[in-house]
Structure 1
C-alpha cells in the first residue's frame, strides 16, 4: 500500500494562511513519488529535507513511497491517463522509455546552466535524444568485493587491479575438492548487467552515443569470451551462475564463503553484513581492462509532462539533486551524483566500504539511453549470457545479438 504523507512546516503554513512571506498564489502542492527505501520510516532523512524545502519555498510536498517493483508499471499506467505524480523518482533505465512516450517534462533549458554541478555519467542517464528529462538523485556503480581470507589462502597478497590478475585470482581460489570458486556471478539479465562494464573496459560498445549498434564488434566479443571462459573453461564460477536471477542468489556463494569474489554494487553491503557478520571482506575498484569502466545505476528525478505545478516541481528536483544531495545521500550511505561528491574531502568522509565506488565514479557509464533498452537487455543480452555459459560459440551468439539489436532499433 502506498503511504500518503503531506509535509508542511508550521511556519510555512502560517505564512501561506496569512499571506506573509509567501504569496498563496505562488505556493503549490507537489505530489512526489519516491522509491520506498528512501522513506522507510517516519524519521527517514528525506522527510527533514522536504521540510527544509517547504520552509524555503512555501510549497508543500505530498510524499508517496512506492516499491521499486511497482514503480515503473504504476507510473506508466497513471501518467498515460494524464494523472500520476508531479515529480517522480525513476530508475535510470526507465528514463528513455517514459521520455519517448511523451510522459516526462523536457528540462533541457533549466538544466543547461547546472550541468557542471553533476557527474557526467549520472547526468547522461537522464538524457534522451540529446534532451535532458531527468537529473540524478543518487548514483551507484559496480565494484569488486573480495574475500580477504580466501585470497590470502590462495597465495595472493592484494586484490586484482587488472584483467590478468582478476583471472589468476579467480582460478587460484577455485578448488573442486573443497567446493570453492573464484567468482560468483549472475545468470540471464542479472549477469548481463554485470557484463556491460567488461565490454566497455575492453573498448567495446553496445549502442554508441550516435545510436549505432556495435554489439558484434571484436572488442565486445572478446570481453564476453574473457568473462564467460571463467565458467566454461576454468570452472571458476559455481553452477548457480546458470540460474541466479536475483542479487540474493548472486550474493549467496560469497556470503557462504564458497566464492572469493563478487561483482556488485553498494546494495550488496547490507546483505553481506547481515548474511555473515564474521565474513572478512573488502571492496575495490573493478579490475581495469584496456580502460576503466563501471556500469552505473541509481535513481533520477523527473517531472510529469502533465503537471499543473511545473515551476514548483522543477524547484523540488533542483533542490534534491543539487549540492545538498551530498549530505542527504550520505545519511543513507548512498552516493550523491553531484560533482562535489567526488571531491577528495567528500570521498575521505565516506565509510571505507563506500569509498571505492566513488573513487571510480569518473569511469561510470550509463547503459544506452534508448527507448528500446529494456527489451534489448531482457530479450537480447539476458539470452546472450545464458547461451555462452551453456557452450555456444561466443562469436556466433554475439553476431546474432547484433542482428537482433539492430532489428529492435530499426537499423
Structure 2
C-alpha cells in the first residue's frame, strides 16, 4: 500500500471528481459500494433523508463498484480529496489506516463497542486503534443440495469434519459426474479454508503480530480439505481454476456438486440460475470448535475531513440499531449485537438465519497492513497443495513469506 501511494499520485487528478472536500461542516460526501445505491429508490436514500432531517447535515451519495473502490479511495485520498465517509470492505481497513488515510475514532467509538458484534467490531481496529464501525456483516456457511444428500443416503447436513467428508464422498459418483463439494482455487479457496484453521484450534496471525501459518493446526486443516480433492476425488476439477464466486458456485448450481461453502451472496445466484433447486443452508461443520470467516463492509471517516463531528455522526447513524431494519431491506445482516437475539434472527428470511446463528463464531481476517499480499500467499499455497505438494512443506514456505511481510 505504501508503494501504491508513492506511485499513484499522478492519478489523483483523474479521480478527484469522484468526491470533493466539503466547504462547510454540514455537507458530507459518502462513497458506498454500488449495490447500496442501485437506484433512486434504494433504501439508503430514505435513511439519509431521516439523518438530514434530524441533524441538519446534508449528504451527497456517490456509488462506486466494489472492484474499483479500494484503488479509487487510495488514489483520491492520497491527494487530499475523496469522500468524508466511505464504505470499506473490512479487509481494506488496515491498509488505509496504515497509510494514514483514516480518522482515528477510538475515543468516539469506545462507548459504543457493546452495540456491535465483537468480530465485526474488531475488523475496524488496527494496531490498537479503532478506524471503522461495521455497516453490515456476512460469513461463510455450508450450502447443501437436499436432493443429492438424500440420494446419498444421508438424512441431515454434516455438523462435523468427519460428517462433512463422509457426505462429500457419498455424493461423489465418477460415472454420473457428481462430486461432494465445490471449492475455489487460489484466493477463493484460501477464503474458504480460513475457518478450518480456526476450527482446528489454530491461528493465522495472533494479536501480537506473530505468524502461526506453519503450526500443526493449520497444516491439519489444509491437509484435510486438500485430500477431499487429491485423495477422495470429491471436488470437481474446477477447484484448480475457479477464481470467482460464479465459478465456485457453478458446479453446485448445475447439480454436479452437492455442497458448497459460501456466503449469503450465493442465495440470489442460486435462485436466479436454478430456481427449482432444493437447497438448505447450515452453519459450517465444526472441528475442535465452531468458527467461520467474517466478511462485510465498514464505514470510516477520511483523515482530514472538514467535518469530523458530522462525519462520525453519520457513521454512528447508519451502523447503529437502525441498521437492523436498513440492512434487512437489502437482504443483508446487521452487525449490531441486537441483531443476534433469537427474536431478531426469527424475523430474518429463512435462508439468512443460519448465517446470523453462527455469527458469534465469526473471525475477521487478520487486520494487518499487508493482508492483501498475505492472502495471495495463502492462495498460492492452496494451489500448490491441491496439485500434490505436501501441506506441511507448502505452509512452511508460506509462513516464511508471511513473516517477511510482517517484518517489512
Instruction: Give the structure-1-normalised TM-score.
Output: 0.93
Q: Hey, what does 2:277 align to over in structure 1?
A: 279
User: Does structure 2 conserve the Cα–Cα contact (< 8 Å) formed by 1:83 and 1:306?
Assistant: no
Aligned counterpart, 1:32: 30
Per-residue CA distance 1:128-162 (angstroms, 9 max, x = gap): 00100000000000000000000000000000011
1:218 aligns with: 216
**Residue 389 of structure 1: aligned partner:** 386
| Partner Cα separation in structure 2 for residue 155 and residue 149 of structure 1 | 10
Distance in 1 between the 2:266 and 2:24 partners?
Answer: 44
Name the counterpart of 2:395.
398
Corresponding residue to 1:339 among 337, 359, 363: 337
Following the alignment from structure 1 to structure 2, what is the Cα–Cα distance between the partners of residues 94 and 80?
Answer: 15
TM-score, length-normalised on structure 2?
A: 0.94
Q: Hey, what does 2:149 align to over in structure 1?
A: 151
* C-alpha displacement of 1:206: 0.9
Equivalent residue for 1:99, pick from 85, 97, 100 = 97
Q: What are structure 2's unaligned runs of at least 5 residues?
A: 1-13
Q: 1:164 aligns with which of 154, 162, 171?
A: 162
Shift of 1:209: 1.4
Q: SS at 1:209's partner residue?
A: coil
Measured in 1, the distance between the counterparts of 2:352 and 2:208 equals: 33
In structure 2, the partner of 1:14 is: none
Q: Is the 8 A contact 1:5 1:63 kept in 2?
A: no
Give the match for residue 4 of structure 2.
Answer: none
Q: Is the 8 A contact 2:126 2:367 kept in 1?
A: yes
Partner in structure 2 of residue 353 of structure 1: 351
Q: What SS does the aligned partner of 1:260 have?
A: strand
Instruction: Indicate the residue corresponding to 1:45 in structure 2.
Output: 43
1:177-196 Cα offsets, whole Å, 9 max, x none, are 00000000000000000010
Residue from 265, 268, 271 that aligns with 1:267: 265
Give the aligned partner of residue 404 of structure 2.
407
Query: After superposition, what is the alpha-carbon deviation per residue over 1:8-34, rounded to whole angstroms, capped at 9, x for unaligned?
Result: xxxxxxxxxxxxxxxxx9961000000
Q: In the alignment, which residue of structure 2 is the partner of 1:138?
A: 136
**Cα 1:375/1:330, change in 2 over 3 Å:** same
Paired residues of 2:18 and 2:82 also in contact (CA < 8 A) = no
Q: In angstroms, what is the RMSD of aligned CA positions?
A: 1.6
d(CA) in 1 for partners of 2:36, 2:24: 28
Measure the CA separation in 1 of the matches of 2:24 and 2:113.
Answer: 27
Structure 1 unaligned spans of 5+: 7-24
Distance 2:189 2:366 in 1: 17
Which SS does the other structure have where 1:139 is aligned? strand
Is contact 1:325–1:336 with CA below 8 Å preserved after alignment? yes
**Contact kept? 1:27, 1:58, Cα under 8 Å:** no
Q: 1:283 and 1:60 mapped to 2: Cα distance?
A: 41
Question: Matched residue of 2:179: which SS?
Answer: coil
Q: 1:5–1:62: 8 Å Cα contact kept in structure 2?
A: no
Question: How far is 1:41 from its partner?
Answer: 1.2
| Count of aligned pairs | 391
Cα distance between partner residues in 2 of 1:157 and 1:315? 50
Q: Which residue of 2 aligns with 1:9?
A: none
Question: Would you identify which runs of 4 or more consecutive aligned residues in structure 1 move more than 4 Å?
Answer: none
Query: How far did 1:408 drift?
Result: 1.0
Tell me by how many angstroms 1:5 deviates: 12
SS at structure 1 position matched to 2:182: coil
